[in-house]
A and B are shown apart, each in its own frame.
Chain A
């Protein structure tokens, strides 16, 4: 039994069959990468997992509970967090406030009317947020406005926000897209570190094979909306169907 079980998910956009009977079984504590050429349906798939899109048919179970039909905030409260391809952060708030919000969400749930307490008095939350920022090496940027961060820092901040919720499953949508080599490596190290210390299950969508092979335990290959291969990294590397799908796309 995996922590996340996806069965026969289909999604059509007009005439386009974006997801074609997708099945996926993510084991608890593993890092599961989904790779595939552009337009293979990777992002559509992730959007179905977090409630942004509703698939036409199929079922998605998380820890034995159905995910489909739940609202985004409910899915998140079940323990699924997502890092977006372009960092989604609160640009008008400070870095510190950005991380405090998921801490509150984790502690208080999806709604609580605490209009009388002071944020300053929430010692527990503040310590938690500080620790989180320390973990991603951003402790010196605590009171900076999030809008003024560099692209790499924004990604790290978003990661910190997701981790602050102590999720059971972390979805990462191309966490290194558009990064320089050095930043990419730093991100890989950070993600590895998180895996070692926290043991959060992760689903990663990635283009960069270097990243995939450094992190993933299992790889699924998505092409034209269908899973065409699945297995250990070594198996996938030499898989003929994968080579075919990727012809001219990237070096495998």
Chain B
């Protein structure tokens, strides 16, 4: 892992992210809504990886921080201003505090007990948001902005329509469209705001990975006992990692709310936490690029698969004879459209069983085989000369 040149990695990453709307357009993923999701869930996954990838602590509660972030941001939209900055700052602070509290309690245990505790905490937060704290969260309906909200920093809104989120006047849903070589390209403000944030927090995560702090976290994962007998107090290290990754999640929640100013309890459900884990695992836990890749792949296929219906399937299998066509459609049908979750679960199992290192490990394996083939032939060439 250390062999990669970090500057090069950073450069390539930045270029890829910023040119996202162009690169992804041919794959039918070049529209703002999906692009924003790529980037925001990328932030979430990068943050989760700081906890899970480095320390090995498997949290099933990160959706709670996502929710806290969204609620905080929407409240800022209601009270202060539609500018996203105060919302983002409050979201990071709130989720950090929340993570500090939860982490302080749950990190007293490790392994499966930690997982179960975070699960219980997340479920409790969900219940709180769904019913108990209705005055703050607006319960089942979810928290939304209204015309009557105070927004004390904004100019009086007489337009009669809901204001939109902005960054010092730049509206998040502004999109500049153009056609290039027959492709419809959409450059969206919200996407670019999120993209710059992703690049910044990705850089931060590289720094953490390469720092003495990161080294200690990796040591926690491999042998916590040794670390204690080496004079290191492991608890503040794991707690710091937990809080940092919680703040990443809060930031992601804030951005979700900034793109679409509402926050609902369903964002905090533990199956959501599960899907965060899945993104990281799929891409490759404890690699730098893996989590972003995983988040992208999952959000992409979620968008594509959910759109496929039986008509599309019949088109695909049109060349087959009638009964085979019907059969294939019948087989594939449960996996697409509303059945996307089934595919997700199946992919999850397959990855954990066959490729625990995720896509990055798969790429590495292929790469190694390739190198070996090359080196093998080079060695053969050398032997006679010696």
Task: State the A residues within 8 Å of B (CB).
Answer: 50, 71-73, 76-77, 81-82, 88-93, 97, 100-102, 104-106, 108-120, 122, 161, 165
Contacts and interface: CB of A to CB of B under 8 A. Distances in A.
A106 B232 CA distance: 9
B230 interface: yes
B214 A90 contact: no
Nearest to B207: A116
Contacts of B223: 88-91
Interface stretch (B149-157, B172-180, B233-241, B271-279): B233-241
A88 B214 CA distance: 20
B49 to A, nearest CB: 14
A117 B157 CA distance: 47
B231 A120 contact: no
Contact of B222 (A93, A110, A122): A93
A113 B213 contact: yes
Instruction: Please list the 6 inter-chain residue pairs (A to B) with the smallest Cβ-Cβ separation, ordered nearest first.
Output: A76-B231, A92-B222, A110-B233, A115-B213, A105-B231, A88-B226
Interface in B148-167: none
Interface in B211-227: 211-216, 218-219, 221-223, 225-227
A161 B229 CA distance: 11
Nearest to B220: A90
B236 A102 contact: no
Nearest to B56: A92
Contacts of A82: 229
22 contacts: A73-B230, A73-B233, A73-B234, A76-B228, A76-B229, A90-B222, A90-B227, A97-B219, A101-B219, A101-B230, A102-B230, A102-B231, A105-B231, A105-B232, A106-B231, A109-B231, A115-B207, A115-B208, A115-B214, A117-B212, A119-B212, A120-B210
Contacts of B227: 90, 101
A92 B231 CA distance: 19
A111 B237 contact: yes
B233 A111 contact: yes
A163 B106 CA distance: 34
Contacts of B211: 114-119
Contacts of A105: 230-232
Interface string B12-44: 000000000000000000000000000000000
Interface of B: 207-208, 210-216, 218-219, 221-223, 225-234, 236-237, 240, 244
Given A71-B233, A90-B219, A117-B211, 20 more contacts: A71-B228, A73-B230, A76-B231, A81-B230, A88-B226, A90-B218, A91-B223, A93-B218, A97-B215, A101-B227, A101-B230, A102-B230, A104-B216, A113-B213, A114-B212, A115-B207, A115-B208, A117-B212, A118-B211, A120-B210
Nearest to B235: A111
A165 B231 contact: yes
A93 B236 CA distance: 21
A113 B217 CA distance: 11
A65 to B, nearest CB: 15
A89 B214 CA distance: 17
Nearest to A146: B222
B222 A91 contact: yes
A120 B4 CA distance: 14
Contacts of B230: 73, 76, 81, 101-102, 105, 161, 165
A76 B212 CA distance: 19
Task: Name which of B230, B233, B244 has the most chain A CB atoms within 10 A of its CB.
Answer: B230
Contacts of A122: 212
Given A76-B231, A102-B230, A119 B210 contact: yes
A72 B229 contact: yes
A108 B236 CA distance: 14
A93 B216 CA distance: 11
B236 A111 contact: yes
Nearest to B222: A92
Contacts of A73: 228-234
A165 B230 CA distance: 8
B362 to A, nearest CB: 20
A72 B229 CA distance: 6
A88 B237 CA distance: 20
A81 B176 CA distance: 64
A65 B244 CA distance: 37
Nearest to B214: A115
B228 to A, nearest CB: 4
Nearest to A109: B231
A109 B237 CA distance: 13
A119 B216 CA distance: 11
A92 B237 contact: no
A132 to B, nearest CB: 13
Nearest to B227: A101
A82 to B, nearest CB: 6
A109 B226 CA distance: 15
Contacts of A101: 215-216, 219, 227, 230, 232
Contacts of A81: 229-230
Contacts of A90: 218-219, 222-223, 226-227
Contacts of B234: 73
A95 to B, nearest CB: 13
B231 A118 contact: no
Nearest to A92: B222
B231 A110 contact: yes
Contacts of A50: 229
Nearest to B211: A115
